Structure 1
């Protein structure tokens, strides 16, 4: 054996994490590394909660959702002494390179931990697909598939009852799930945090459909869409999780009530919530996760730490974490304009 690699999954779960873990383990073994799994994200390094990973350990997990390692939203930078504990754990286990699979919050923490001397490589995962430096993240394709299927199913009941159907999907600061699935599912209106739209504009667009003889509408709204633009009532202050992320109170329900009040059209709301995170990953997510897992081990072998591996075009690339964490991938206004163009609503 040439050394030891550690691997952890942090933040929210998503389909494809196990495929990435499998790729890290199998490519690591192929390069004569021993692989140790860190349980429950950064908390596993703080509490020295680990397990060895072998070829047998990862057999058959590529199709499983979630993560066999468990995850948490523990922030390793919250308590200064935790960094020393993490370093001690890594030294005790002989880990010379750590693979950190996570989204924006986990990768930001990885950048800070890396700056304090921990050798690591990041892999981007988040159903929101808002990590800078990669065209797509693990979990996004599966989430879009799930939401598109929901839109397809809502179409039949919306048309039968001449209703407005509001579908709230995940998307904290970027509405890429809403945009992609909305386009794929033929949504009539897509609302995202990236583009501000007033309640008046929304009502005008939907009213235009009804004037044109279209007696139902599908509205897809990302959970992070600004309340002050949509809701006509006072929105209570949201709680936050341990990473400071807002726990949303349900823009879909506010929007549904307001549309029914203003337009006088029966409106129903569906909130998909964590359904979008669950289940078996699509083939595309399994393939992406496998490529990124292999690439992460390659970076460790080369001694290239403090970076994230990602997909740009058809190339697997390495991006310094310092560049990844300074911005995020928002929706280009032209992307939104194209979606609006094919929605059948024209001003």
Structure 2
């Protein structure tokens, strides 16, 4: 059996831990059965060119990478193997040339949608959920999220000390296009006074009123805002458009928009910090290393058992799997009745409404 492994979409901590677990689990099973693991470079892009870009993954090549951030295989968040018939035909030729029986696809909702679409050329896939946004459907926690929460929480604590010193309103913008899990959990962990999410359009007057109240007491405020948040009646803050990408709209800058909106209403100076790709980088937390290892091992078991077309999940604390078709083209957003939303409200956090 020949098994491909690729990492698609944006990078995040824990990818190498999955690659390691998938490879070692398959090689141990295949010591007497001829299993070969091929790493596909730069995500789906490695299958789209006239010459496929791959490397054989052996035991020693995936040793010592558990703790490393990023991905040893490289990735791409703009490669779209489904963009036209010619590209799809080239992918099909490359898959046949490589003799791939199945590809373990590690990525977010966009990557899972592409993996589901490749069934039309007969490519069998097993999915592993990866995203710092934690927005993959039917999966309560994806690896990379815990590390990102820790990074944002640390940033909030740091801007709090300088905000307190200068009596400022400090805005920290996180990633999270359509789901506010990162801003919500990090905002709670970092003691943010205001948390603004894509799921709740914010009322500028409500946010200003909370900051005005704090001007009279603590004399500083901390606001954590997800990049997909928007004011009531307003629109998303788009940074750029990328042609031919599965995700052509790139968000960013809503923190600066909020600063401009808030400043006329406050005596305090308002400052914005956009964390950007800092949230994706660095070594994974111990939790993410273990979760990524569990995911990678289970993905290998799905391959061994011939249970293809499925994605590994974590539900009710247990590792399992669901059809990739049930995950493709959908997202897991924050319910307004979620326990964390209720908790935030009950401890006095302003959610912008």
Kept in 2, the 8 Å contact 1:16–1:62? The answer is: yes
Offset of residue 332 of structure 1? 1.4
Offset of residue 265 of structure 1? 1.6
1:49 alignment counterpart: 53
The worse-fitting range, judged by mean Cα deviation, of 290-299 and 254-263 is: 254-263
Offset of residue 249 of structure 1? 4.3
Aligned to 1:333, what secondary structure does the other structure show? coil
Offset of residue 94 of structure 1? 2.2
Offset of residue 236 of structure 1? 7.8
1:1-347 paired onto structure 2 within 5 Å: 3-32=1-30, 33-47=35-49, 48-72=52-76, 73-211=78-216, 213-226=217-230, 238-241=239-242, 242-334=245-337, 335-343=340-348
Offset of residue 81 of structure 1? 2.5
Distance 1:55 1:176 in 2: 36
Distance 2:172 2:295 in 1: 32
Q: Calculate the TM-score normalised by the size of structure 2.
A: 0.92
Offset of residue 326 of structure 1? 4.6
Q: Calculate the TM-score normalised by the size of structure 1.
A: 0.93
Q: CA RMSD in A?
A: 1.9
Kept in 2, the 8 Å contact 1:39–1:70? The answer is: yes
Tell me the matched-pair count. Answer: 341
Kept in 1, the 8 Å contact 2:109–2:329? The answer is: no
Aligned to 1:274, what secondary structure does the other structure show? helix
Distance 2:68 2:252 in 1: 30
Structure 2's unaligned 5+ residue stretches are none
1:299-325 deviation line (CA, Å, top 9, x unaligned):
111111111111112211111111112
1:34-62 deviation line (CA, Å, top 9, x unaligned):
10000011111122110000011111111
Kept in 2, the 8 Å contact 1:15–1:65? The answer is: yes
Kept in 2, the 8 Å contact 1:20–1:293? The answer is: yes
